[in-house]
């Protein structure tokens, strides 16, 4: 039995915005895989809810004529994984969200909820950072578009204004065309777990010359918000593919990320793992590009 | 029927959802109770204000520690002892103002629904006086002010020891002396169904329906806790979703029984959450061991010494019985002329240790079997060979507790099967000198395990058979089905002795203490052995009664009668059907007397089961991950009653053992003793994707003590996996870990310390 005060169901984006303005204390719920847990824990006990699960406009994935990919915020993880556009153009995202919890939660949890929940361990987010995704927010008027990197304010806090809802995630064509990505979720077990540390590497390799042209490295759980390793990225660009490159990413990542000590894992431990998963993810992206990683 | 893999008698009902569990039976308009838990780890309640909670609409009753009986009662699921000296320690009240661990039970709310009860809890105001918290037994045992329980000034619940031979002399004669320390974690049973009960009053008596392994013991403890005659209580046990020993303790049933008396006998449900299950029910004790042993040049053990420190937590529960059981195991199975053992069980400010599958032996076996590998490494001997040199072949008996003995002993056959499966000799060589960051290894461990609790405690079981008009029978037992398949094997046993089909034995699965024969319940791997003995005797009695009655219907028949699958035979000729006999027994106008048979049997036997685990692992050193490539348990549990169920039992135990070795531990905050990871997200129970293919094998020696040649199998599968995995990691990496679980954190630290990273 959940302690819920009121429940309002929105059928359209406009209705959702209207309901949120009418009930400023209400929280947005879609799949409920984060919100219901917090209600049960007592943190959100007695809350009111505006449900956006039935809004069709924010479901599904489309590649526009421009080549930009629009992902509805209400699209559940399993639909992202199985979507032909994702599988063809950005398979790394489908693979990443396929590592969320278990099959049941992947059938109800949405990518928009994963972002707006603000958790640093969210499985979709490091890859969206590495793809330089843009977020479309609606407020019933013009709305706004923000880069995902600016959306994260702190642990569990995102830049979602009262009366606003996230409607789409946009991946511009220039950010994925020619790039290959690999996401490693490091967790204590192989299912039903959250990341102890996670890393998404998206890279572009000149296979004929054996040169790493471009790279974006994003960590989850290595800082208060999902964290791009900009210094490491800058240092790696243009390096020849090979052991020196891998040793460099491993070493530099350990210097750049800021994981913390907690009972879940020590800082020292996360640094060891961080360097290693960045190295392995990079090697995999080079393999995916058709390069010879050695 | 015995020895066949007949389908579980409850399979269809459980798979289709028709089987009723406690929560499926909650009556209409049942009230909900919730417990107010302390927010400190040690101290006293200075004041408690429940006025706001009581004023909340929908709250029926609030009770605090001031309202409950002030005498203490014991909780463990042991048979009661009529001798004062052997009675369980009574150190609990239904609610308490003396907080002994974080989460201790201070008050309870009864409300019309769950949300109201939760809201009322938040309105209760408590002020505490806090005392320092101590969660480590080796510190707590030097005493605290005040002590955790006033009658144990040094916080030592109990200490026991024994000597065989002269350990000091034995060590002097040894060529090599090895000393090591080991530690096991607090873990939780994680049965799928949390403890749940509901209680109501009927005709001046209290009825409690509960998810328990031990309904007759629950009845007794409720009587003790409330200070009322035991006959005033009736306990009903429906199907249960696992227990693993947590429900071999009396948990919230007494409080629930008390609460219904406070609301005029209305039904009250007390449904324990998962978080409460972790914090407020029972756990497996964490035990620390210091071991010393001396060996000669041929690798024979000459002397060995064990010191054990068991963390009891805040209340006695099963108490010292756990550490003492491990101490007993230390002197069994391996030949050694000089043995010393000493164990302390110490109160601390942590969640309470109780019974959990294999009762102290997973802890002891971890220490002993790691130690055997570490000694073998010290003297450069193959660890399997080292064990073979020291294991006793054939019969052996305990030095102190008669008649505990290995009446049959299949350990050498078990080891052969395990070693062959894992390709021990080849792989020990192949993986001997690896370099690189991915390495493989093979390891093994073994154990022995008693069957039931005699002579440490009483063994008694009852059984009743009722012949129906159609020749089928009801089988009624006080022993409980808790998922292990007891109902199925008891049905097979009765069918075997009565020469009937299993389908014609209708076992009554729900225990009701008003109706079911007395039996202490499911624990100690006892039921197929002890209750099985009662079933066999009852079936033999029923068999004889049927033939006796049949003879009254066949006045001229002089030949020997027998019963076989629905017919009475005179020698080899069928003379009358069982159905005709049964009908006559009910409706004969001249001598009707419905046929029932009932026995209550004390079993004064105990026999030792044994087995081993062999594991092959791959260690990813840079990521601190262990992958199990192959794993096998081989068990000598005597004759198998149902081979398929036996295999399932082994798989389940292996899963528990692997989790123990790799990932499970209840972590506590040092300052408060509060569980840090008491949820199924943060407590890393293995999932299907973490579980390798499991192999189970058996050595079936017919044990002369078992009613059907059988002995313990329920708990043993959980014992040997953890040390086998640890020893495989030792083989792979050369790093001898002394503490489980082998989490990535622990592995990385160990590899860094060893210079592998």
Q: Kindly state the average pLDDT of the residues A4-13.
A: 97
* pLDDT over threshold 90, residue A140: no
CB atoms within 10 A of CB B454: 22
Give residue A85's pLDDT band: very low, low, confident or very high (50, 70, 90). Answer: very high
Name the percent of chain B lying above pLDDT 90.
100
| Of the partner residues A1, A46, A189, the one whose CB lies closest to the CB of residue B113 | A1
Give yes or no for B590 touching A (CB within 8 A).
no
- A120 CB-side CA count, 13 A: 18
As a whole number, mean pLDDT of residues A5-29 equals 97
Q: How many other CB atoms sit within 10 Å of the CB of residue B527?
A: 29
For residue B114, which residues of chain A lie inside 8 Å, CB to CB?
A: 1
Q: How far is CA B479 from the centre of its chain?
A: 14
Specify the 3-state DSSP secondary structure of B384. Answer: helix
Q: Give B572's pLDDT tier (boundaries 50, 70, 90).
A: very high
By a Cβ cutoff of 8 Å, what residues of chain A touch chain B? 1-3, 42, 45-46, 102, 186, 188-194, 196, 263-266, 268-269, 272-273, 276-277
What is the full DSSP assignment across B98-157? Answer: EE-STT-EEEEEEESSHHHHHHHHHH-EEEEEE------HHHHTT--SS-SSTT-TTSEE
Q: pLDDT of A145-155, one tens digit each? A: 999 999 999 99
Nearest Cα neighbor of A58 from A71, A68, A45 is A71
Q: Which residue of B has its CA nearest to A189?
A: B690
Identify the weakest region by mean pLDDT among A139-143, B329-333, B458-462: A139-143
Asked whether the predicted pLDDT for residue A1 surpasses 90, the reply is: no
CATH for B460-519+530-602 (3.30.365.10, 3.30.70.250, 3.40.1390.30, 3.80.10.10): 3.30.365.10
Residue B716: CB atoms within 10 Å = 31
Question: What is the C-alpha to C-alpha distance for residues B269 and A146, in angstroms, rounded to an integer?
Answer: 51
Q: Which residues of A touch B743 (CB under 8 A)?
A: 188
How does pLDDT run across B12-45, given as a tens digit for each residue?
999 999 999 999 999 999 999 999 999 999 999 9
Of B122, B623, B663, the CB nearest to A273: B623
Cα(B745)–Cα(B747) distance, rounded to whole angstroms?
A: 5
| CA distances, B324 to each of B121, B319, B320 (Å) | 40, 9, 6
Q: How far apart are CA B360 and CA B319, in angstroms?
A: 11
Mean pLDDT for all residues in chain A: 97
C-alpha span between B359 and B421 (Å, rounded): 29
Q: Which residue of A has its CA nearest to B625?
A: A188
Phi then psi for B20, rounded to 5 degrees? -95, 125
Angstrom distance (rounded) from CA B56 to CA B117: 9
Closest to B256 measured CA to CA, from B300, B212, B297, B290 = B212
Pairwise CB contact (< 8 Å): B745 & A266? yes
Tokens of B235: 């306990």
Are A188 and B119 a contacting pair at CB < 8 A?
A: no
- Residue by residue, DSSP assigns B203-258 as TTEEEEEE--S-HHHHHHHHHHHHTS-GGGEEEEE-B-S--TTTTSB--SHHHHHH
What pairing do the DSSP bridges indicate for beta strands A4-9 and A47-51? Answer: parallel
Chain A residues lying within 8 Å of B688, measured CB to CB? 191
A276 contacts B622? CB cut-off 8 A? yes
Q: Please give the helix or strand (H or E) that residue A249 lies within, else none.
A: helix A243-256
What b-and-e string marks burial along B217-251, b requiring 16 or more CB atoms within 10 Å of the CB? bbbbbbbbbbebeeebbbbbbbbbbbbbbbbbbbb
Mean local confidence (pLDDT), B394-418: 98
Is domain B368-453+605-753 given the CATH code 3.30.365.10 in the classification?
yes
Quick check: B677 contacting A, CB < 8 Å? yes
Helix (H) or strand (E) holding A20: helix A13-22
What's the rounded mean pLDDT across residues B358-379? Answer: 98
Please name each of the domains of chain A with its CATH number. Answer: 4-51 (3.30.43.10), 56-174 (3.30.465.10), 179-288 (3.30.390.50)
User: Number of A:B CB contacts under 8 A?
Assistant: 65
What pLDDT score was predicted for residue A189? 96
Average pLDDT of chain B, as a whole number: 98
> Any idea which residue has 């000669």 for tokens?
B296
What is the rounded average pLDDT of the residues B366-394? 98
CA distances (Å), B430 to each of B439, B614, B620, B622, B736, in order?
Answer: 11, 16, 18, 22, 19
In 3D space, the residue among B750, B445, B741, B481 whose CA is nearest the CA of residue B612 turns out to be: B445
- Residue B520 phi, psi (nearest 5): -80, -15
Q: DSSP letters along B413-441, please?
A: HHHHHHHHHHTHHHHHHHTTT--SSEEEE
- Specify the DSSP class assigned to residue B334: B
Peptide bond into B25 cis (omega under 30): no
Q: Which residues of B touch A273 (CB under 8 A)?
A: 623-624, 744, 748
Beta bridge partners of B127: B47
Span B495-554, pLDDT tens digits: 999 999 999 999 999 999 999 999 999 999 999 999 999 999 999 999 999 999 999 999
pLDDT at position B416 is: 98
On chain A, the residues whose CB falls within 8 A of the CB of B745 are 265-266, 269
How far apart (Å, rounded) are the C-alpha atoms in residues B444 and B417? 12
Q: How confident is the model at residue A294 (pLDDT cuts 50, 70, 90)?
A: confident
According to DSSP, the residues that pair with B628 across neighbouring strands are: B617
Neighbours of A25 (CB within 10 A): 11
Picking from B23, B30, B36, B622 by the largest number of A CB atoms within 10 A of its own CB, the best residue to mutate is B622
**Confidence band of A223 (pLDDT split at 50, 70, 90):** very high
* Tokens of residue B106, six digits: 């201070």
**A26-39: pLDDT as tens digits:** 999 999 999 999 99
- Residues B625-629 have a mean pLDDT of 98
Question: B460-519+530-602: same fold as B368-453+605-753?
Answer: yes
Tokens of B26: 């909650």
Contact B689 A191 (CB under 8 A): yes
Min Cα distance A67 → chain B (Å) is 37
Backbone angles phi, psi at B434, to 5 degrees: -90, 155
B524 contacts B713 by C-beta, under 8 angstroms: no
Q: Please check whether residue B348 is in contact with residue B148, taking contact to mean a CB–CB distance below 8 angstroms.
A: yes
User: How would you classify the pairing of strands B609-620 and B438-449?
Assistant: antiparallel
Mutate one of B39, B672, B748 to test the A interface: name it (highest A CB count within 10 A): B748
Query: Is residue A128 over pLDDT 90?
Result: yes
Fold (topology level) of B11-131+195-272:
Aldehyde Oxidoreductase; domain 3 (3.90.1170)
Q: Where are the domains of chain B?
A: 11-131+195-272, 368-453+605-753, 460-519+530-602
- How far apart (Å, rounded) are the C-alpha atoms in residues B275 and B255? 18
CA distance B461 to B599: 8
Using the CB atoms, write b or e for A41-53: b if 16+ within 10 Å.
Answer: eeebbebbbbbbb
Residue A59 CB partners (closer than 8 Å, separation 6+): A72, A74, A75, A79
pLDDT of residue B683: 98
Q: Which of B682, B687, B757 sits opposite A272 (nearest CB)?
A: B757
Rounded to whole angstroms, the Cα distance separating A197 from A265 reads 10
Exposure letters A241-264 (e unless 16+ CB within 10 A, then b): beeebbebbbebbbebbebeeeeb
* B194 has a pLDDT exceeding 90: yes
What one-character DSSP code corresponds to residue A116?
A: H
């Amino acid at each position: 039995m959940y302690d819920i005060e009121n429940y309002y169901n929105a059928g359209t984006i406009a209705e959702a915005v209207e309901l949120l303005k009418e009930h400023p204390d209400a929280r947005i719920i879609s799949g409920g895989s984060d919100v219901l847990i917090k209600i049960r824990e007592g943190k959100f006990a007695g809350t009111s809810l505006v449900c956006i699960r039935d809004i069709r406009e924010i479901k599904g994935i489309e590649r526009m004529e421009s080549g930009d990919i629009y992902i509805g915020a209400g699209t559940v993880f399993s639909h992202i994984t199985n979507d032909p556009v994702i599988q063809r153009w950005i398979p790394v995202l489908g693979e990443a969200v396929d590592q969320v919890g278990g099959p049941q939660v992947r059938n109800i949890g949405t990518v928009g909820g994963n972002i707006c929940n603000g958790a640093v361990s969210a499985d979709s987010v490091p890859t969206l950072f590495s793809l330089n995704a843009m977020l479309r927010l609606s407020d019933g008027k013009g709305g706004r578009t923000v880069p995902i990197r600016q959306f994260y304010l702190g642990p569990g806090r995102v830049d979602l204004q009262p009366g606003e809802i996230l409607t789409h995630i946009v991946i511009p064509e220039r950010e994925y065309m020619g790039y290959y990505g690999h996401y490693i979720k490091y967790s204590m077990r192989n299912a039903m777990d959250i990341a102890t540390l996670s890393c998404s590497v998206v890279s572009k390799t000149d296979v004929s010359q054996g040169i790493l042209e471009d790279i974006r490295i994003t960590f989850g759980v290595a800082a208060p918000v999902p964290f791009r390793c900009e210094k490491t990225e800058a240092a790696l660009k243009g390096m020849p593919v090979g052991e020196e490159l891998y040793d460099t990413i491993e070493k530099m990542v350990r210097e750049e990320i800021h994981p913390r000590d907690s009972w879940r894992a020590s800082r020292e431990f996360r640094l060891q793992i961080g360097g290693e998963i960045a190295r392995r993810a990079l090697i995999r992206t080079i393999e995916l590009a058709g390069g010879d990683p050695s | 029927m015995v020895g066949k893999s007949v389908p579980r008698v409850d399979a269809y009902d459980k798979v289709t959802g028709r089987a009723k569990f406690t929560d499926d039976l909650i009556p209409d308009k049942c009230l909900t109770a919730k417990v107010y838990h302390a927010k400190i780890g040690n101290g006293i309640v200075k004041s408690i204000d429940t006025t706001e909670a009581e004023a909340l609409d929908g709250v029926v009753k609030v009770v605090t520690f001031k309202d409950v009986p002030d005498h203490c009662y014991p909780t463990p699921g042991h048979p009661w002892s009529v001798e004062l000296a052997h009675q369980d320690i009574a150190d609990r009240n239904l609610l308490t103002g003396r907080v002994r661990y974080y989460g201790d039970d201070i008050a309870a709310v009864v409300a019309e629904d769950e949300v109201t009860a939760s809201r009322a809890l938040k309105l209760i105001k408590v002020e505490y006086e806090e005392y320092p918290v101590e969660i480590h037994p080796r510190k707590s045992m030097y005493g605290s002010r005040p002590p955790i329980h006033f009658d144990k000034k040094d916080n030592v619940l109990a200490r026991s020891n024994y000597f065989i031979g002269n350990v000091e002399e034995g060590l002097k004669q040894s060529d090599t002396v090895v000393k090591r320390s080991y530690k096991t974690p607090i873990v939780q049973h994680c049965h799928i169904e949390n403890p749940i009960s509901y209680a109501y009053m009927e005709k001046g008596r209290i009825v409690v329906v509960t998810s328990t392994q031990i309904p007759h013991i629950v009845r007794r403890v409720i009587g003790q806790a409330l200070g009322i005659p035991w006959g005033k209580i009736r306990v009903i046990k429906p199907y249960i979703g696992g227990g693993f020993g947590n429900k071999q303790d009396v948990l919230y049933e007494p409080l629930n029984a008390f609460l219904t008396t406070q609301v005029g006998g209305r039904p009250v449900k007390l449904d324990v959450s998962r978080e409460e299950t972790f914090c407020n029910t029972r756990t497996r004790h964490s035990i620390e061991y210091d071991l010393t042993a001396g060996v000669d040049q041929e690798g024979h053990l000459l002397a060995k010494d064990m010191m054990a420190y068991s963390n009891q937590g805040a209340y006695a529960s099963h108490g010292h019985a756990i550490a003492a059981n491990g101490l007993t195991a230390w002197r069994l199975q391996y030949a050694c002329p000089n043995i010393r053992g000493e164990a302390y069980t110490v109160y601390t400010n942590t969640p309470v240790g109780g019974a959990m599958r294999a009762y102290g032996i997973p802890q002891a076996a971890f220490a002993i079997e790691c130690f055997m590998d570490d000694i073998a490494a010290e003297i450069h001997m193959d660890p399997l060979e080292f064990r073979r040199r020291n294991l006793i072949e054939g019969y052996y008996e305990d030095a102190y507790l008669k008649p505990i003995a290995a009446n049959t002993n299949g350990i050498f056959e078990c080891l052969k099967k395990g070693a062959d499966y894992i390709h021990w000799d080849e792989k020990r060589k192949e993986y001997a000198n690896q370099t690189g960051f991915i390495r493989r290894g093979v390891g093994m461990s073994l154990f022995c395990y008693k069957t039931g609790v005699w002579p440490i405690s009483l063994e008694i079981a009852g059984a009743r058979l009722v012949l129906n008009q159609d020749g089928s029978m009801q089988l009624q037992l006080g022993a409980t089905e808790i998922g292990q398949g007891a109902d199925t094997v008891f049905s097979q046993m009765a069918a075997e002795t009565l020469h009937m089909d299993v389908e014609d034995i209708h076992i009554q699965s729900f225990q009701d203490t008003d109706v079911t024969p007395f039996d202490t319940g499911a624990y100690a791997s006892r039921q197929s052995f002890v209750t099985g003995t009662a079933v066999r005797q009852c079936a033999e009695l029923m068999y004889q009664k049927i033939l006796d009655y049949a003879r009254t219907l066949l006045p001229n028949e002089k030949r020997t009668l027998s019963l076989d699958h629905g017919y009475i035979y005179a020698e080899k000729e069928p003379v009358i059907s069982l159905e005709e006999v049964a009908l006559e027994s009910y409706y004969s106008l001249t001598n009707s007397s419905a046929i029932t048979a009932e026995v209550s049997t004390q079993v004064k036997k105990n026999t030792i089961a044994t087995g081993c685990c062999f594991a092959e692992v791959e260690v990813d050193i840079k990521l601190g991950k262990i992958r199990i490539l192959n794993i096998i348990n081989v068990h000598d549990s005597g004759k198998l009653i149902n081979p398929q169920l036996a295999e399932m039992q082994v798989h389940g135990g292996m899963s528990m053992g692997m989790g123990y070795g790799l990932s499970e531990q209840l972590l506590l905050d040092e300052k408060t003793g509060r569980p840090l990871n008491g949820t199924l997200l943060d407590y890393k129970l293995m999932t299907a994707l973490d579980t390798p293919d499991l192999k189970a094998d058996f050595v079936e020696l017919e044990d002369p003590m078992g009613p059907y040649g059988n002995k313990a199998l329920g708990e043993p599968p959980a014992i040997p996996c953890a040390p086998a995995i640890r020893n495989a990691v030792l083989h792979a990496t050369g790093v001898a870990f002394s503490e489980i679980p082998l989490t990535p954190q622990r592995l990385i630290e160990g590899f860094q310390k060893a210079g592998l990273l």
